[in-house]
Structure 1
Amino acid sequence: MLPILGREPVSRVGDLTGPELVSAAHEVARRLPPGARVAISGSDETSRLIHFLGADLAGCASLLIDPDWPDLDGVLDDARPDVLLDADAPPGPDLGTAVPVGDESTWFYLPTTSGTTGRPKVLARSRGSWLRSFTALGVPLEPGDRVLIPAPLSSSLFLFGALHALHGGADLHLLGRWSVSAAAEATRDATVVHLVPAQLSALLAVLEHDPLLRSRCALRLVVCGGAKPDPALAERLARALPGCGLVEYYGSAEHSLIAVRHDERLMPVVDVGVLDGRLLVRSDLAFDGYLERGELVPASTHWTGDEAVQHPDGALEILGRAGAVIDTGARLVPVEAVESALRAVDGVVDVVVAPTRHPRFGSIVTAVVEGDAQLADLRAHARRKLHPAELPRRWLIVDALPRTASGKPARAVIAERLSSGEQL
């Protein structure tokens, strides 16, 4: 049995059968000191998954390295791994490690925060927190399912999707790095896909313009995390792929799952409360704390950092990150509200709203739009939907936004380039 799956895998991962996956993981485990911290690098995503599962067998906590992190050295300094494991390299000496090691309280994973607004923080997670999260998601997989993971496993969102697939007995297709064309081709065989909203928008744009590919798409379910999908995005999915379901979940690297939407309502799956507009969470799915220079710093608060409303039926409405505002001319403009309005314009794949310094107003609202939307359409829509003070004063239309490995906009990079005048 592989501990983090709670079962013997029966799934195929690429060309590997379940027994072959277990055998390869055991080979890795025998070569690791029990209970070590391991940093896993490498270019082949299937090999990295095997090394991750092998490390878990040995009771090791693994950091899956993303070479694009803003400060890789800083991340490694916080994680303080005992072993640097290159999944592309020949195996090391056999230590004869007896497995499995540990129990549900054992750390198996050192995830990081997304790094959208700065250097990622390193977290510590127990096996039990994710084993319970698989059940909390409430997405049963069918024996014939093939789950597409279209981005690197260094993002906890996509690692969760991959392990959920293996836990549920589904086959797994790993792309390793986001490519909308490769993801669209992979939907010929994939029945389930894990995406963030910007990736779903880009995938739908391809399918909408390719009737043949759309007719061959096998997707029955989209699982969407990382950000709130706009209602217009759900409508596009329903038009392009009638019968394809959409499950939205809200959570974080720290708290794992907090709420899941299977129909019209985003319902908590853990104990939540809203105090003065702030969302508080108490959960046995949560992380154990942050690692700073190798030492565990327990979480000091149950606040998620988001503002929310909880309705009488228990449903949550997530309003966005606290402090995600632009101070322009003594008025506070909510960033996420402006972004949400602009995403409804035809041709917009995604949008980031950020401040640009201004000598008179302090900052002005700048909209960086990914896609081929027309500026006149953007401005007209903004005038209809936004308060005059919320209207972007500066517009940039780009082919592609800078992104993290998980597919989220790299907001810190965008803000820095806007400030320095560097090309986006």
Structure 2
Amino acid sequence: MRRGGRPRADVLPILGRELTSRVGDLTGPELTSAAHRVARRLPPGSRVAISGSDETARLFHFLGADLAGCASLLVDPDWPDLDAVLDDARPDVFLDADAPPGEDLGTEVPVGDESTWFYLPTSSGTTGRPKVLARSRGSWLRSFPALGLPLEPADRVLIPGPLSSSLFLFGALHALNGGADLRLLGRWSASAAAEATCEATVVHLVPAQLSALLAVLEHDPLLRSRCALRVVVCGGAKLDPALAERLAKALPGCRLVEYYGSAEQSLIAVRHDERLMPVVDVGVLGGRLLVRSDLAFDGYLKHGELVPASTDWTGDQAVQHPDGSLEILGRAGAVIDTGARLVAVEAVESVLREVEGVLDVVVAATPHPRFGSLITAIVEGDARLPDLRAHARRKLHPAERPRRWLTVRALPRTASGKPARAVIAERLSSGEQL
């Protein structure tokens, strides 16, 4: 797409190219035709909320809305406060991707340019109600090359989670922009993802999903031998070195690409080797990370009105080394006040993930009348409690050691696969079972 100009009718604007990829059973031309049918039925430049259970249908409805210059909200019915999200987005049109097409309005496409809003993503919702953001086409078009991952014609990219998560939508659009075929799972399942890797060569996921996927492959040597993955793209949270070592051991030769970013800023830094290198202008002041980027969002929507971002701070603490690389230390506010001592939860979680059998762990606060809060570790997996306690004694300061331990089959999670920390905190406070 030409900057500031009108794209050709055969080019899908947010992809910047013609669609040649196969998605499931549909060819590129079939998907393009479906997207054009959707576009002709939408008022140009409107806001659209897209629901439905078929992820392929949701994808071509999204692409069709973009052709019509519309900004789309991909609805997740599991959002903790869907009505509030819709009140902030204020969509003009509700599209059910599972329903028959509506009336043909004869809309001529494509509409808009790189400054046109195409997407209304939400923040992850790990610590509360998701916020609605406004993103321009240009901010994402520039994000594709920033990832630094050219795809090969024979690649098949696996997206193992819902497109309502910006992390998975980015992976899907990056694949289509690169001309690769696409496999959409819609909902996360470690076993289904493992089976899909017999054909997929690239996968996008978060660290907890990578851990669960590796657990399946580690316990099934035959399935592991059939795995075709050549690249794992991991984002959404810091990836522990122990998990990277597990990947290298289970799938020798499989390349790991880790990126750091957010729904607001898109990509900030990418790790292709040992270093996490910025792909935009960054600085660290007082331990806090500052980002200035042309990949960033335009602002938040509040009751339908745009509220420009008020700061370039990411909310994360970081260190920038002399070679320019970044070390992300975690959220500035992710601490527990226990017995008059502040404990960084992400540092404790990183240590506990080193224990064999831990798939993931969340460290949270349980209210206590004397100490204020007790450090509580909620562990997903089959790790033995004596092993966890012993590891904590070896690696953690006494004040950092969990005083309460809970084991669960599966942590509550957001649509993107991240632990739903707000849900966990609420259940701990109320005494509700996790």
TM over 0.5: yes
What amino acid is the match of 2:430?
A: S
* 1:355-394 equivalent positions in 2, closer than 5 A: 355-394=365-404
What residue is the counterpart of 2:7 in the other structure?
Answer: none
1:222 alignment partner, SS class: strand
The alignment status of 1:84 with 2:89, answered yes or no, reads no
> TM-score scaled by structure 2?
0.97
> Structure 2 unaligned runs (5+)?
1-10
Alignment of 1:290 with 2:300, yes or no, is yes
User: 1:261-290 deviations in whole A, cap 9, x for unaligned?
Assistant: 000000000000001000000000000000
- Displacement of 1:323 in angstroms is 1.2
**1:33 counterpart residue number:** 43
Partner of residue 206, structure 2: 196
Q: Distance in 2 between matches of 1:358 and 1:119?
A: 26
- Who is 1:128 aligned against? 138
Residue 255 of structure 1 corresponds to: 265
Which residue, out of 31, 34, 47, partners 1:24? 34
Residue aligning to 2:5: none
Residue 158 of structure 1 aligns to a residue whose secondary structure is: helix
Match of 2:83 in 1: 73
Deviation at 1:359, TM superposition (A): 1.2
Aligned to 2:117: 107
**2:133 and 2:415 mapped to 1: Cα distance?**
18
What's the CA shift string for 1:26-82, capped at 9, x where partnerless?
Answer: 000000000000000000000000100000000000000000000000000000000
Q: What are the superposed Cα offsets for residues 288-340 of structure 1, whole Å, 9 maximum, x if unpaired?
A: 00000000000000000000000011000000000100000000000000000
For the residue of structure 1 that corresponds to 2:142, the secondary structure is: helix
Q: Does 1:411 align with 2:421?
A: yes
Matched, 1:45 2:55: yes
Aligned equivalent of 1:225: 235
Aligned residues: 424
Q: CA deviation at 1:234?
A: 0.3
Q: Which residues of structure 1 form unaligned runs of 5+?
A: none
Residues 1:348 and 2:336 aligned together: no
The letter of the residue matching 1:28 is V
2:128 and 2:419 map into 1 onto residues whose CA distance is: 12
Question: CA shift at 1:253, angstroms?
Answer: 0.3
Quote the residue 1:168 is aligned against: 178
SS of aligned partner of 1:353: strand
Structure 1 runs (4+) greater than 2 angstroms displaced: none
One-letter amino acid of the counterpart of residue 263, structure 1: D
Distance 1:328 1:393 in 2: 11
Looking at structure 1, the residues matched to 234 and 111 of structure 2 have their Cα atoms a distance apart, in angstroms, of: 33
Return the letter of the residue paired with 2:100.
Answer: P
Partner residue, 1:8: 18
TM-score (structure 1 length as normaliser): 1.00
Shift of 1:9: 1.2
Tell me, in whole angstroms, the C-alpha distance in 1 between the residues paired with 2:393 and 2:333: 24
Amino acid at match of 2:385: L
Match of 1:273 in 2: 283
> Matched residues in 1 for 2:189 and 2:211: separation?
13
Task: Tell me if 1:422 matches 2:432.
Answer: yes
